[in-house]
Chain A
């Protein structure tokens, strides 16, 4: 069944409770932050229908779409935009895409995670839709009332969205933890639905909509492009990237985070932090000072301008505890601080503090901590 992509409003869901989520994926699977965003969307309303929008190209996109369909029981729809234009997540074509998808379905909410992906794209979409977005939502009170931190997390602001357009949010993923979903009929459903649907590729310049699979609540839509992406879209080109491949868990979602500051003094010494992280099965973080000094790459920075973490155990070695750093760790369950300076501000937020030389404490910890599997 073909739908004319002309301005006529789509006959689809009620305008009240439809959420569109900008999904982030990498090498065939969607990112955990996107699943957290689904968890957040789920608390917007009981009858809310949730659509995930994936863009990219080729087989890894299709794999990711399949996985997206089963990532959470409340996802009702996966929209896939497969085009070379989306090979890399550039803001210009992505923003046009969301604007376009929004013309087809009347979404009450448009969400993305507060990752560099979401923060790059969502405000651009919001401006195209003439809507004020809300950054870094940590709590959803009602479908139009949210709490977000301001001033590096030193104050919480409760806001109400009063505009007419869709309510647009970026979600702080650490505030919406993903609870593991048991393998039941739900997850099986998704696995089945993706296989055939990825074959539907015909019909350029049209919409292939709603291929109902009996008994399954998932639809796949294959979007192609009846609109010119030219304009600002081609004015930006992807050149390359340098990523650090690590075996360690992702900093944003790790259960344990071990952080080092300037006091580590060198790249070599920082290896002690890495060893300890390995021993505890945790991720490595760093302060701005440690990153600026070149001990570790910038994507390990924790704080207001780096990553926000909320692990079960956060251990800080040689970290003074500047406002900007504390902004990134305050929601950790247990904070341990080891510092030579008994007056370091980090001790004010630490559950367990130890005044001592980290060059003695870390080796002792390495020796005495129980081995993790």
Chain B
């Protein structure tokens, strides 16, 4: 079986972002970019399934500007077999991304699509659910454990939900989005980074895939969140309790 993994290039999670002075967005020039952490987890899980002998091929897909090739190379260095890069100059809403992934899925025929549960830039948490809807496949979101049964052709998935953990069983093909605790992604070793350079990355455009681009959300402005008033340091527990009682009135 084949597994498709969607990976997104985002501002590195450790970077303290800056809002552009003209309020059009967040400054991404000369900022360290890397693979979205949840996408790393998604890719790692696909690789583990392949290593366990359940899958033959892991294909990584990224949609975005030319630099997304770097993200794909990272994925290939981790162990993906090949990449698909849908090159675009504009950024798309999750619905359009889902449509692009759907048309790729129709060509590639994977039995599993892995995505991260959300991208840490737009924090949307939508794409996986949308791909599943468009394909008419079942979904298992926020996965913290995935067990495949090849004979029954199902995946049993533990999901992180508000009250604890929930277990679902979904028929394949299915879409799974990954939560933090699913696994610990591997680092790419130097030999694998070298090897990744010769792995194929197929270039495509949105036009090739005949996807209609939906832009029904307009960003009016991006601003900094309100700053909190600076606080005070106290020197003892007594002083802390006194402040909480008489100044903040919370105890």
* Interface positions of A (Cβ within 8 A of B): 90-92, 95, 115-117, 119-128, 130-136, 145, 148-165, 231-232, 235-244, 252, 256, 280, 288, 291-292, 297-299, 304-305, 307, 312-313, 323-324, 330, 333-336, 347, 349-355, 361, 364-365, 368-370
* Distance A212 CA – B246 CA, assembled complex (angstroms): 53
- Cβ A232 vs Cβ B234 within 8 A: no
Evaluate contact between B138 and A232: CB separation under 8 angstroms: yes
Chain B: CB-nearest residue to A145: B220
Out of B130, B139, B163, B215, which one reaches A243, CB within 8 Å?
A: B163
Task: Say whether B231 contacts A350, CB under 8 Å.
Answer: yes
Q: Complex formed: what's the CA distance from A246 to B188 in Å?
A: 42
Known: A364-B237, A368-B241. A154 touches B129 (CB 8 A): no
Residue of B with least CB distance to A136? B123
Residues of chain A within 8 A of B214, CB atoms compared: 130, 132, 163
Task: State the Cβ distance, A160 to closest chain B Cβ, in Å.
Answer: 5
Q: A307 to nearest B CB, angstroms?
A: 8
Contacts of B219 in A (CB 8 A): 157-159
CA gap between A189 and B172 in the complex, in Å: 48
A125 CB contacts on chain B under 8 angstroms? 133
Give the interface centre of B16, B124, B127, B160 by most chain A CB atoms within 10 Å.
B124
Residues facing A in B93-150 (CB within 8 A) are: 93-95, 98, 117-118, 120-127, 129-134, 136-142, 144
Chain B residues, CB < 8 A from A364:
237
Interface of A is mostly: mixed
Whether, in the assembled complex, B165 has its beta carbon less than 8 Å from a beta carbon of chain A, the answer is yes
B232→A91 contact, CB < 8 A: no
Docked Cα-Cα span, A290 to B121, in Å, equals 24
Q: Which among A124, A135, A256 has the highest number of chain B CB atoms within 10 Å?
A: A124
> Which residue of the partner chain, among B14, B94, B250, contacts A333 with CB atoms under 8 Å?
B250
- Interface contact A336-B240, CB-CB below 8 Å: yes
Give the complex CA separation of A90 and B98 in angstroms: 20
B238 contacts the other chain (CB 8 A)? yes
Q: Does B33 contact A (CB under 8 A)?
A: no
Query: Which 4 pairs from chain A and chain B are nearest by CB?
Result: A163-B216, A127-B133, A127-B130, A123-B129
Binds A, one of B61-69, B194-202, B222-230: B222-230
1/0 per residue, CB under 8 A from A, across B146-181: the answer is 000000000010011111111111110010000111
Q: Known contacts A158-B221, A241-B161; decide if A152 and B120 are in contact (CB<8 Å).
A: yes
Chain B residues positioned under 8 Å from A335 (CB to CB): 228, 231
- Residue from A156, A237, A292, A304 within 8 A of B181 (CB atoms): A292
Q: Chain A residues near B159: list those with CB within 8 A.
A: 116
What is the number of residues of chain B that contact chain A, defined by CB distance less than 8 Å?
83
Residues B162 and A127 in contact, CB atoms below 8 Å apart? no
Are B95 and A231 within 8 A (Cβ)? no
Sample of 12 A–B contacts (CB below 8 Å): A92-B138, A123-B129, A133-B126, A150-B222, A236-B168, A298-B160, A305-B180, A323-B13, A334-B250, A352-B234, A352-B248, A365-B240
* Sample of 9 further A-B pairs with CB below 8 A, known A239-B167, A241-B166, A304-B120: A127-B95, A134-B217, A158-B220, A232-B136, A235-B171, A241-B164, A351-B248, A354-B240, A369-B241
Do B167 and A241 have beta carbons less than 8 Å apart?
yes
Q: Which residues of A have CB within 8 Å of B144?
A: 298
- Are A151 and B169 in contact, with the CB atoms below 8 A? no
In the complex, are the beta carbons of B162 and A116 less than 8 A apart? yes
A66-B99 Cα distance, complex, nearest whole Å: 40
Within the complex, which residue of A123, A158, A235, A349 is in contact with B130, where a contact is CB–CB below 8 Å?
A: A123
Contacts of A163 in B (CB 8 A): 214, 216-217
Judge whether B251 is part of the interface by a CB distance below 8 angstroms. Answer: yes
Bound-state Cα–Cα, A260 to B203, Å:
47
Residues on A with beta carbons closer than 8 Å to the beta carbon of B13: 323-324
Specify which chain B residues have a CB less than 8 angstroms from the CB of A237 in the assembled complex. 168-170
In contact, A135 and B136 (Cβ under 8 angstroms): no
- A residues less than 8 Å from B139 (CB atoms): 91-92, 120, 124, 236
Q: With a CB–CB cut-off of 8 A, which chain B residues contact A312?
A: 250
Q: Which residues of A contact B216 (CB under 8 A)?
A: 131-132, 161-165
A361 touches B225 (CB 8 A): no
Known: A132-B94, A347-B233. A154 touches B218 (CB 8 A): no
Q: In the bound complex, do residue B234 and residue A235 qualify as a contact, i.e. CB atoms below 8 Å apart? A: no
Residues of A within 8 A of B236 (CB): 354
Contacts of B229 in A (CB 8 A): 351
Contact yes or no, B123 A151, CB < 8 A: yes
Taken together as a complex, chains A and B put the C-alpha atoms of A136 and B139 apart, in Å, by 21
